[in-house]
């Protein structure tokens, strides 16, 4: 089994080659403006285009920040036709009603609301007004809209109306890209619809970006399928990611944590990922990051994405250091570290300078930081350790000491002993943990549904069956599936022992 993992970050494109469970080679290259060049460069320096190209590579897994950056920077977005099936309910809160105005103005191509939708128990809320859907599609055509987002009340329980409306729209607009909110799961109409609208807004960018990735791989001479990593630490085949780019919004942090689990061999541990500017602390459960269950805002839009629960603090390898009074971070020189740090001839004292002075790192010119005495260095390190300890303590969910895996380029700031930590684990290739996490990613399936008048174990089993089928449809090998999350929530004020069950399963990528 041979896989390449690539993390396309804002500054660097990291790439690793993993063969039979071992990291064979890891490289960093600057991220390029046109994407393709940066990936091609990293593949070249990985050696993948040379001797390895002849051998079989089983998959190239890419993690990217393109999609989330497009939303945050309001660039490369497609105008969207919003079609909601739920009238007469929800009329006072139409699609885009809680978006930041500037983003809504860019994305809103038109809003149509027609009768339709279901109740929590699967009964019809209103019959689907098919004539109104067709009429809406004709108006979309007149406005030259090509990307359509369809949402319906309780569609995670019964996607029938969304799917039927998609057929009706496709009959009028055969070339349109159509996003159904039920493909994005989760109960909560506005948040699910928002995810659908963002997805539809990324339609053109997803097509172009994934085409660029495919070109880079083809140009490098590698004949391997392309996978895109998702927010939850799993991958989707390229065609799936092209259809649902929102699932690949924020894979960077997840990939780092998954990479940390892999490199250390631990499935349950805390992870501290020390970058240049910030440090993320999270918790691994069964090899996956514990997820945030709350509303996540992306570019100011409320969504219910599967995102890791992370605490970020302003500590990193580029953090500003002032000595009197002692303060580390939150300001950072960021990607200018090799220019602005004192050890590199700059004028800003950073944590990296302190590490060079103390001998923890062999970088830059040690003579330039010779004025920093051993006692001073120790004080700075102690402050960084205290900041890390506090963050770890806040994220811990158990009382005893836990193992901690330290990864990222700034991991030198994490000492071997910390309060509340049983063991600090530094791993080889820890600075490329994100690319490692991409390389080892699996495929997932999820079910989040309400079950009525069913015994709890039956409801959980039913949810598991749905999640399994979805994982297989997404490219997983059924024999390797395992459940990594299962939670059930009895519901208040609903009759008939209603229970909401959420199950997530993962499995290895099926051999093609």
Q: Which residues bind other proteins (CB under 8 A)?
A: 86, 88-93, 97-98, 117, 119-120, 123, 125-126, 153-154, 187-190, 283, 290, 293-294, 309, 393-395, 397-399, 450, 489-495, 497-500
Output the smallest distance, CB 277 to other proteins, in A: 19
| Of 7, 3, 6, the residue nearest 275 (C-alpha) | 7
Minimum CB–partner distance for residue 492 and other proteins (Å) = 4
Segment 176-179 long-range contacts (CB within 8 Å, at least 24 positions apart): 176/140, 176/145, 176/146, 176/147, 176/148, 177/146, 177/147, 177/148, 177/203, 177/243, 178/147, 178/148, 178/149, 178/150, 179/147, 179/148, 179/149, 179/150, 179/203, 179/243, 179/244
Q: How far apart are CA 60 and CA 161, in angstroms?
A: 37
Smaller CB separation from other proteins, 92 or 482: 92
In the complex with other proteins, which residue's Cβ is closer, 369 or 418?
A: 418
- Ramachandran class of 122: left when φ > 0, alpha when ψ lies in -120 to 50, beta otherwise: left
Comparing CB distances to other proteins, the nearer of 143 and 456 is 456
H helix runs in 220-342, sequence order: 238-243, 251-264, 337-340
- Residue 155 Cβ vs other proteins, minimum distance, rounded to whole Å: 9
Query: What is the closest distance, in whole angstroms, from the C-beta atom of residue 94 to other proteins in the complex?
Result: 9
498 within 8 A of 452, measured Cβ to Cβ: yes
Q: Given the complex with other proteins, which of 325 and 495 has the nearer CB atom?
A: 495
Please state the closest distance from residue 153 (CB atom) to other proteins, in A: 5
Residue written as token pair 């015994």: 455
In the complex, least distance from residue 397 CB atom to other proteins, rounded to whole angstroms = 5
69 or 497: CB nearest other proteins: 497
Collapse the DSSP code of 110 into the 3-class scheme (helix H, G, I; strand E, B; otherwise coil) and give the result.
Answer: strand
Q: What secondary structure letter does DSSP report for 431?
A: G
Nearer to other proteins, 132 or 372 (CB): 132
Q: Tell me which residue has tokens 């080659």.
A: 17
For other proteins, the closer of residues 17 and 126 by Cβ is 126
**111's tokens:** 């809003």
CA distance 4 to 26: 10
Query: Would you say 47 or 300 has its CB closer to other proteins?
Result: 300
Nearest to 450 by CA among 153, 197, 199, 164: 153
492 CB contacts (<8 Å, ≥6 apart)? Answer: none
User: Least CB distance from residue 327 to other proteins, whole Å?
Assistant: 17
Phi first, then psi: what are they for 63, rounded to 5°? -105, 135
As measured in angstroms, the least distance from the Cβ of 495 to other proteins is 5
């Amino acid at each position: 089994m041979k896989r390449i993992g690539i993390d396309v970050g804002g500054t660097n494109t990291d790439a690793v080659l993993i063969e039979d469970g071992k990291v064979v080679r890891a490289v960093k290259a600057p991220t390029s403006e046109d994407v393709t060049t940066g990936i091609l460069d990293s593949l070249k320096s990985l050696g993948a285009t040379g001797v390895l190209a002849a051998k079989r590579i089983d998959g190239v897994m890419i993690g990217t920040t393109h999609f989330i950056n497009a939303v945050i920077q309001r660039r490369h977005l497609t105008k969207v036709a919003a079609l909601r099936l739920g009238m007469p309910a929800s009329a006072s809160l139409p699609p885009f009603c809680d978006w930041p105005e500037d983003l809504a103005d860019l994305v809103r191509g038109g809003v149509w609301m027609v009768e339709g939708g279901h109740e929590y128990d699967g009964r019809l809320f209103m019959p689907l007004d098919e004539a109104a859907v067709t009429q809406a599609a004709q108006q979309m055509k007149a406005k030259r809209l090509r990307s359509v987002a369809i949402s319906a009340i309780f569609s995670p329980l019964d996607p029938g109306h969304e799917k039927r409306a998609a057929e009706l729209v496709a009959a009028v607009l055969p070339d349109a890209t159509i996003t159904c909110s039920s493909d994005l799961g989760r109960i909560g109409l506005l948040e699910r619809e928002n995810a659908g609208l963002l997805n539809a807004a990324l339609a053109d960018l997803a097509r172009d970006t994934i085409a660029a990735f495919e070109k880079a791989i083809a140009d490098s001479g590698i004949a391997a399928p392309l996978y895109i990593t998702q927010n939850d630490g799993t991958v989707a085949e390229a065609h799936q990611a092209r259809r649902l780019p929102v699932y690949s919004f924020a894979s960077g942090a997840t990939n780092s944590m998954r990479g940390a689990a892999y490199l250390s061999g631990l499935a349950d541990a805390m992870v501290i990922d020390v970058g240049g500017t910030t440090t993320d602390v999270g918790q691994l459960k069964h090899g996956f990051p514990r997820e945030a269950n709350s509303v996540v805002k992306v570019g100011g839009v409320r969504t219910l994405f599967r995102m890791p629960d992370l605490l970020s603090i302003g500590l990193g390898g580029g953090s500003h250091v002032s000595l009197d009074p002692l303060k580390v971070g939150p300001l950072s020189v960021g990607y200018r570290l090799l220019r602005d740090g004192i050890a590199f001839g700059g004028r800003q004292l950073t944590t990296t300078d302190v590490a060079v002075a103390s001998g923890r790192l062999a970088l830059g010119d040690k003579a330039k930081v010779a004025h920093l005495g051993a006692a001073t260095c120790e004080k700075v390190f102690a402050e960084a350790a205290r900041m890390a300890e506090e963050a770890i303590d806040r994220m811990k969910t158990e009382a005893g000491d836990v193992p901690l895996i330290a990864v990222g380029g700034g991991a030198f700031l994490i000492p071997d002993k910390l309060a509340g930590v049983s063991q600090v684990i530094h791993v080889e290739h820890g600075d490329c943990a994100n690319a490692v996490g991409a390389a080892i990613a699996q495929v997932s399936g999820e079910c989040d549904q309400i079950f009525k008048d069913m015994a709890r174990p039956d409801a959980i089993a039913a949810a598991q069956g749905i999640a399994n089928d979805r994982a297989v449809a997404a490219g997983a090998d059924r024999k390797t599936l395992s459940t990594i999350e299962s939670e059930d929530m009895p519901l208040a004020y609903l009759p008939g022992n209603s229970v909401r069950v959420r199950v997530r399963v993962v499995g290895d990528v099926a051999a093609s």
